[in-house]
Amino acid sequence: MKFLKIKTSWSNAEFGLFKACVISYGMLIGIYFYEYVKNWVVPIWIVLGITATWTILLWVKKMKHQQTSV
């Protein structure tokens, strides 16, 4: 249960970016179940690519910063 007590250094804006990444991925999964939403596949892939890349870069930056401060 110690995992649930860990404090993060993510700001609300950065966490919002992570949420956008997860939501766009979930939409891509659900998009294949509805024919009328298939027009949105390319824009959602673009949003997923941007948010996933941005989130990974933020995570790597924070991990490097955390290692240097320890």
Domain assignment present for 4: no
Domain assignment present for 58: yes
Phi-psi region of 4 (alpha: psi -120 to 50; beta: other; left: phi over 0): alpha
Domain assignment present for 1: no
User: Which residue's entry shows tokens 């401060």?
Assistant: 69
Domain assignment present for 37: yes
| Positive or negative: CA dihedral 2, 20, 11, 50 | positive
Q: How many Å is the Cα radius of gyration of the chain? A: 16
pLDDT for the residue 15: 81
**Full-model pTM:** 0.54
Domain assignment present for 3: no
In tens digits, what is the pLDDT along the chain, a chain of 70 residues?
565 666 777 787 888 888 888 888 888 877 777 766 678 888 888 988 999 999 899 988 888 887 776 6
Please give the tally of structural domains in the chain: 1
Structural domain range at position 16: 12-69
Helical packing angle, 41-69 and 12-31, nearest 10°: 140
pLDDT for the residue 57: 92
